[in-house]
Chains A and B, each alone.
Chain A
Amino acid sequence: MADIIATNETILVVGGGISGMTAAIEAAECGKQVILIEKGPSVGGRVSQLYKYFPKLCHPTCGLEINLRRLKGNKNVRLLTMTEVSEVSGEAGNYSVTLKTTPRYVNENCTACGACSEVVDAEFDDAYNYGLGKRKGAYLPNKMAYPQRYVLDPQIIGTPDATKAKEACKYDAIDLEMQEESNTITVGAIIWATGWQPYDANKIQPYGYDRIANVITSVEFERLMDPHGPTGGKLLRPSDGKEAKDIAFIQCAGSRDRNYLKHCSRICCMASLKQTTYVRERYADEGKATVYYIDIRAIDRIDDFYQKVKADENVTFIKSKVARIDEDKASGNPILHGVNTEGYHRYANQHDLVVLAVGMEPSVAQDEFPVKVTINEEGFIEQDEANGAIFAAGCSADALDVNRAVQNATASALRAIQVVNRAAGMEG
């Protein structure tokens, strides 16, 4: 990778989710030189794992397709996958950034023909499906994956599978000798768009995510609906593979709680409201959804989506923070215990499946940032002049929905452009 050309007029974008892609493409379409790095093997981030968006109920892959086309056609963006930032030094307008690239074991010769995947045996948990399914040790991360290039799981390196994969490739695309690489580049500004991860539901002990098979997270629920997903789009519950028709959604699972995440993750209410429509989509009047909530935060003009869901007779709203969940051993049904605070009624409700609306946690832990920026208690990057020309975009800045994340990423692109234009002497 000796051919990375970057100068103090180059913008580095860290993270290839929708915020990072947006920031990179928007800046590139202004004529700026951009290096976009992504830790994983393909771009698209969390939104590529969603079935639909609220409130339009359209598919995120549609927008991803547009963004990928913009990315493929734009020579101003250089994309580096499997790459992270390990060190940053310097100042606004002149940063020196060390990038670490882990081996993919597959080079650009790959045509995505799939021959390697066919011959390998070992299977691993599929991170794209949040571990709900398996994938081969030689794999394409998903059907929309870009770059459209296979990856060898490092766990098969040194095993017969690796040799088999290499032998199956007619295009000399598999390179088992690939090593971790380190490159230092100069850039003028950095857009930090490392996004979020779902809060670890195991930590919310009273909800039994680690003990009760039929308690899953909201992000896993998205994968069940996806026709590309582990169940081919069916709402099958984990314990017995039966269709789940009576589904409970627990809001603020790990959010708005001093024990877990202090902040409100903003998206979870709308996400659960959206997911109640999945129940209707699959079962029409046969399905039932119950939402346990503190406040329904369907903010601004999309409040009408909440009104629409509320009007659905098969959706029930219970104002309650669920106290604990246990399991009916015979049926595998989770039982929710708590108090409906509207009128103070105790309940012990059984459902087929429980979906925890888990909160958004910044992907990079506070003490793991390779660069000094102002970070708030919740772990999000604050806007601060002390950050120099390092600008947060999307969920690195706050818990944001897609629309706001993209808005924020577009703003960050301008902030970065201001710096590199200054470096270029364009600003008078």
Chain B
Amino acid sequence: MADEIKIGAYICQGCGIGDRVDTAQLAQVAQRDAKASIVREHAFLCNAEGVKMIQDDIDNEGVNRVAICACSRRAKTEAFNFEGVAITRGNLREGVIWIRPDTDEARETTQDMADDYVRMAVTEAKYMTPPKGDDNTKYTPKVLIVGGGVSGMTAAVEAAKAGYQCTIVEKSGALGGAAAKAWKRIPQHAPYADPEDTGVAELIKAVEESDKITVHLNSHLTKTSGAPGRFSADITTESGSTTTENFGAIVQASGYFEYDARQLPELGYGKSANVVTQAELDAMAKEADGGPIKTKDGKEVNSVAFIQCAGQRSEKEGHLPYCSGHCCLTSIKQAMYFKDQNPDIDTNVIYTDLRTPGAGGEDFYRSGQQKGITFTKGAVSEVVASGDALEVKFKDLILDEDTSEKVDLVVLATGQVPNSGVDIEAMAAVVEGEEDGAEPEEPTAVQVPVESILNLTYRQGPDVPHLKYGFNDSHFICFPYETRRTGIYTTGPVRRPMDMQQAIEDATGAAMKAIQAIENAAKGRAAHPRSGDLSFPSFRREGCTQCKRCTVECPFGAIDEDEERYPQFNEERCRRCGTCMGACPVRVISFENYSVDSVGQQLKIVDIPDEFEEKPRILALACENDAYPALDMAAMNKVEYSAFVRVIPVRCLGSVNLIWITDALNSGYDGVVMMGCQKGENYQCHFVRGSEIAHVRMSKVDDTLQSLSLEPERVSVHEVAITDIERAPALINEMAETIEKIGMSPFKF
């Protein structure tokens, strides 16, 4: 290594640490056992003077690894934020003195604990390198936008306004998408009383007038490769000519398909020309151009029924299980097309739950009532063509009776089906099934033409993973743009059902994230949730056995395979979770600031007393985002837990390599507790399947235990939430009790 490792260990005596443990002994441990070059104690390390002391050592003494033995890594982060050095934290406050009783009896084990955390912090520092960042990053201030509807055009216009080049690839021959076929839109401004102009023409004009936006019509992507900052896309026209361009980030605004109303024969669609969908009615209104809307055979319309949730919010086969969100407001808008033209036309909106949220929604609903639109809470069973009229049969839910109504026109509020491309996870399941000789799964109910949108060359498949019902949404409430393909953001109705106003907001946000991805990629910085992390996975090719676990398990599709079938890391796609590191059976993957050694050596430096001392050792590996904060907060509440545990925060339980467990057991730990996030359908893990993968991997730890003749109870894996301030300590205590029951490990040397 070019630069010599010089570790400074700094031991704080503040917040009662100095009263509860012998800090002189800690200093000795840091120097003697962990080999820190400089060791200093300080009464109040986080104050300006303490921080300056450390900075001086960095500036004058060449300290490049800083081990701060004070409070939790979650506290005083800004004070201890030194540039250009690796920083580790020994948690003596929340991890030791706050969770142990202040008694003479407890003094010795409390000191042991503190000694170990100092050893661990210094050792971690030794095995960490300050990340230098990626030298090969590219700055490509150019956004690729797939889809030229309202969402795509908005993303382009907004990104261009911030100074970035944009290219729109639109498969049809014109910009505007679904919205261009609409007559008016739901109002977006107070007083929210009348339908307003769609704004599509203006948006198209803004796109066409911008010198920063290029548009490819009748085109689609035939190949997309690379990573944030260096995407390369093949844009192919209908005639087959292809141009290749480079981009920094991608916004996928591929929109939605109209639900196929032919699946609703009971509502008369396909049987009568006077049963139409909302989209068809808007087209009719557009054709009427402000004049009276007539039936397809040119007759006057005197009465219209709007049937809400047509083929939606229904478990029936071929129906959509979800609500499309906009349809209630759209029906009100369309009823106004008639009422504004002629107040005598009867318009009845038949609904089960009328959904007009927010300030604008409720005002618009009230305006509809004022204009004389009827709203009926009812469940429609059938639409029957009888002579010239249509008979709508429904149960009136207020009067609690079956009834019917004759109308000239029926409008079905059918839903949005996302145009989200290939379901790569279903595809992977089918492929796996075929390999096992199993039958491929039955196709799902609602079929849409499945063509890939992006044609990514990623090993994990050509499109962004679907979430639920085919939508490409983020899985996270607080992070609507948390994508599983770094630098690729989906927006608009492909993400969740939505109307134009929401699509405009959403696309503006997506454009923002695309720009951020471009800026991050250029600096080699990780995207959310480990924002700003400059490290990236490195890989020792000689040792690799080509087992492919890393390429399969990477939650972000960051790892491809090269021609020789070795893993090929795409640093800019990586989110630094370490799942690949945890997966690797031969341990050839590491990060500068997080590696098999940076954790493995910590657990090895812990002092393991011989079995006669009756001081067991428990290793706890805790997810840094949930379990570790839960333990911190337990400490703030002065919840006690076993003095025999040594807690190491991990980026994700998915990054836990089996060797850590094996090493711990081999070196005499009596138990191992692992705490990750909630797994399963509503998984909490921001690295998607880290917790789940860890649970699977650890189910195989039994073999190790068996080969060592150890009891299976010595290793436990748990799902822990950040609110588990009582439970997380209890899980540690449980392990301590288990060890008391089954006895100490025989592997103490």
Measured CB to CB, the residues of A under 8 A from B are 18, 25-26, 29-31, 47, 51, 53, 56-67, 69-70, 72-75, 109, 111-114, 140, 143-144, 148, 170-171, 226-228, 256, 262-264, 266, 295-304, 307, 319, 341-344, 376-378, 380, 382-384, 398-400, 402-404, 406-408, 410-411, 413-415, 417-418, 421, 426-428
Contact yes or no, A66 B322, CB < 8 A: no
Q: Does B496 contact A (CB under 8 A)?
A: yes
Chain B residues positioned under 8 Å from A398 (CB to CB): 358-360
- The docked-state distance in angstroms from the alpha carbon of A375 to that of B531 is 35
Question: A171 with B398: in contact, given A67-B478, A408-B505 (CB under 8 Å)?
Answer: no
Q: Does B47 contact A (CB under 8 A)?
A: yes
Chain B residues positioned under 8 Å from A18 (CB to CB): 478
Q: Does B433 contact A (CB under 8 A)?
A: no
- The docked-state distance in angstroms from the alpha carbon of A402 to that of B474 is 13
Query: What is the CB-to-nearest-CB distance from B213 to chain A, in angstroms, rounded to a whole number?
Result: 13
- The docked-state distance in angstroms from the alpha carbon of A341 to that of B633 is 48
Question: A300 with B478: in contact, given A30-B515, A58-B678 (CB under 8 Å)?
Answer: no
Q: Does B549 contact A (CB under 8 A)?
A: no
- The docked-state distance in angstroms from the alpha carbon of A60 to that of B323 is 25
- The docked-state distance in angstroms from the alpha carbon of A343 to that of B74 is 57
Please name 30 pairs of A and B residues whose Cβ atoms are closer than 8 Å in the assembled complex, sorted by A. Answer: A29-B532, A31-B519, A56-B477, A56-B682, A56-B684, A58-B678, A60-B477, A61-B722, A65-B629, A66-B529, A69-B531, A72-B81, A74-B531, A113-B14, A143-B636, A296-B353, A298-B353, A301-B323, A376-B190, A377-B191, A377-B363, A399-B357, A400-B358, A403-B477, A407-B480, A410-B508, A411-B512, A414-B159, A414-B509, A428-B211
Chain A residues positioned under 8 Å from B469 (CB to CB): 301
- The docked-state distance in angstroms from the alpha carbon of A65 to that of B47 is 24
Chain B residues positioned under 8 Å from A67 (CB to CB): 478
**Residue-wise interface mask of B (365-394) relative to A, using a CB-CB cutoff of 8 A (1 in contact, 0 not):** 010000000000100000000000000000
Q: CB < 8 Å: which of B76, B163, B354, B473 contacts A421?
A: B163
Contact yes or no, A227 B726, CB < 8 A: yes
Contact yes or no, A59 B723, CB < 8 A: yes
Chain A residues positioned under 8 Å from B480 (CB to CB): 403-404, 406-407, 410
Contact yes or no, A411 B508, CB < 8 A: yes
Q: CB < 8 Å: which of B325, B684, B721 contacts A299?
A: B325
Contact yes or no, B322 A62, CB < 8 A: no
Chain B residues positioned under 8 Å from A342 (CB to CB): 377, 397-398, 400
Q: CB < 8 Å: which of B475, B478, B481 contacts A60?
A: B478
Contact yes or no, A427 B477, CB < 8 A: no
Contact yes or no, B478 A382, CB < 8 A: no
Q: Does B261 contact A (CB under 8 A)?
A: no
Q: Does B71 contact A (CB under 8 A)?
A: yes
Question: A295 with B355: in contact, given A30-B519, A256-B362 (CB under 8 Å)?
Answer: yes
Contact yes or no, B353 A377, CB < 8 A: no
Q: Does B511 contact A (CB under 8 A)?
A: yes
Contact yes or no, A380 B359, CB < 8 A: yes
Contact yes or no, B358 A299, CB < 8 A: no
Q: Does B75 contact A (CB under 8 A)?
A: yes
Chain B residues positioned under 8 Å from A65 (CB to CB): 625-626, 629, 722
**Residue-wise interface mask of B (1-32) relative to A, using a CB-CB cutoff of 8 A (1 in contact, 0 not):** 00000000000001110000000000000000
Contact yes or no, B163 A427, CB < 8 A: yes
**Residues B16-62 near A (CB distance < 8 A):** 16, 44, 46-47
- The docked-state distance in angstroms from the alpha carbon of A407 to that of B477 is 10
Number of B residues whose C-beta is below 8 Å from A?
A: 95
Query: What is the CB-to-nearest-CB distance from B505 to chain A, in angstroms, rounded to a whole number?
Result: 5
Contact yes or no, B75 A411, CB < 8 A: no
- The docked-state distance in angstroms from the alpha carbon of A382 to that of B377 is 32
Q: CB < 8 Å: which of B190, B211, B357, B502 contacts A297?
A: B357
Q: Does B78 contact A (CB under 8 A)?
A: yes
**Residue-wise interface mask of B (282-319) relative to A, using a CB-CB cutoff of 8 A (1 in contact, 0 not):** 00000000000000000000000000000001010000
Chain A residues positioned under 8 Å from B176 (CB to CB): none
Contact yes or no, B508 A414, CB < 8 A: yes
Chain B residues positioned under 8 Å from A428 (CB to CB): 163, 211-212
- The docked-state distance in angstroms from the alpha carbon of A282 to that of B190 is 43
Q: CB < 8 Å: which of B357, B397, B478 contacts A406?
A: B478
Q: CB < 8 Å: which of A73, A303, A378, A427 contacts B81?
A: A73
Contact yes or no, A143 B637, CB < 8 A: yes
- The docked-state distance in angstroms from the alpha carbon of A31 to that of B522 is 11
Of chain A, the residue at the smallest CB distance from B677 is A62
Contact yes or no, B71 A111, CB < 8 A: yes
Contact yes or no, A300 B498, CB < 8 A: yes
Chain B, interface SS category: loop
- The docked-state distance in angstroms from the alpha carbon of A398 to that of B516 is 26
- The docked-state distance in angstroms from the alpha carbon of A109 to that of B43 is 13
**Residue-wise interface mask of B (465-482) relative to A, using a CB-CB cutoff of 8 A (1 in contact, 0 not):** 000110101011111110
**Residues B154-211 near A (CB distance < 8 A):** 158-159, 161-163, 188-191, 211
Q: Does B65 contact A (CB under 8 A)?
A: no
Query: What is the CB-to-nearest-CB distance from B310 to chain A, in angstroms, rounded to a whole number?
Result: 14
Query: What is the CB-to-nearest-CB distance from B186 to chain A, in angstroms, rounded to a whole number?
Result: 13
Contact yes or no, A417 B515, CB < 8 A: yes
Of chain B, the residue at the smallest CB distance from A72 is B77
Question: A29 with B516: in contact, given A300-B325, A414-B509 (CB under 8 Å)?
Answer: yes
- The docked-state distance in angstroms from the alpha carbon of A406 to that of B473 is 14
Contact yes or no, B633 A263, CB < 8 A: no
Contact yes or no, B496 A58, CB < 8 A: no
Apart from A414-B511, A428-B211: 4 A-B pairs, beta carbons within 8 A? A65-B722, A304-B322, A378-B359, A407-B509
Of chain A, the residue at the smallest CB distance from B625 is A65
**Residue-wise interface mask of B (122-153) relative to A, using a CB-CB cutoff of 8 A (1 in contact, 0 not):** 00000000000000000000000000000000
Q: Does B686 contact A (CB under 8 A)?
A: yes
Contact yes or no, A171 B626, CB < 8 A: no
Q: CB < 8 Å: which of A61, A70, A427 contacts B723?
A: A61
Contact yes or no, A58 B47, CB < 8 A: no
Contact yes or no, A171 B44, CB < 8 A: yes
Of chain A, the residue at the smallest CB distance from B16 is A113
Chain A residues positioned under 8 Å from B475 (CB to CB): 56
Contact yes or no, B313 A303, CB < 8 A: yes
- The docked-state distance in angstroms from the alpha carbon of A414 to that of B276 is 39
Query: What is the CB-to-nearest-CB distance from B444 to chain A, in angstroms, rounded to a whole number?
Result: 15
- The docked-state distance in angstroms from the alpha carbon of A29 to that of B724 is 31
Query: What is the CB-to-nearest-CB distance from B419 to chain A, in angstroms, rounded to a whole number?
Result: 15
- The docked-state distance in angstroms from the alpha carbon of A98 to that of B163 is 30
Contact yes or no, B531 A73, CB < 8 A: yes
Contact yes or no, A417 B162, CB < 8 A: yes
- The docked-state distance in angstroms from the alpha carbon of A75 to that of B531 is 12
Contact yes or no, A383 B188, CB < 8 A: yes
Contact yes or no, B362 A410, CB < 8 A: no
Contact yes or no, A62 B77, CB < 8 A: no
- The docked-state distance in angstroms from the alpha carbon of A345 to that of B353 is 20
- The docked-state distance in angstroms from the alpha carbon of A111 to that of B92 is 14
Q: Does B618 contact A (CB under 8 A)?
A: no
Q: Does B697 contact A (CB under 8 A)?
A: no
Contact yes or no, B15 A111, CB < 8 A: yes
Q: Which 4 A-B pairs have the closest CB atoms?
A: A63-B478, A410-B509, A411-B508, A414-B512
- The docked-state distance in angstroms from the alpha carbon of A69 to that of B530 is 8
Q: Does B555 contact A (CB under 8 A)?
A: no
Chain B residues positioned under 8 Å from A383 (CB to CB): 188-189
Contact yes or no, B637 A171, CB < 8 A: no
Chain A residues positioned under 8 Å from B498 (CB to CB): 300
Q: Does B668 contact A (CB under 8 A)?
A: no
Q: Does B440 contact A (CB under 8 A)?
A: no
Chain A residues positioned under 8 Å from B513 (CB to CB): 26, 410
Contact yes or no, B353 A297, CB < 8 A: yes
Chain B residues positioned under 8 Å from A74 (CB to CB): 531-532
Q: CB < 8 Å: which of B508, B633, B686 contacts A144?
A: B633
Contact yes or no, B505 A414, CB < 8 A: no
Contact yes or no, B497 A300, CB < 8 A: yes
Q: CB < 8 Å: which of A66, A341, A408 contacts B478?
A: A66
Chain B residues positioned under 8 Å from A63 (CB to CB): 476-479
- The docked-state distance in angstroms from the alpha carbon of A329 to that of B543 is 77
Question: A62 with B81: in contact, given A227-B725, A408-B509 (CB under 8 Å)?
Answer: no
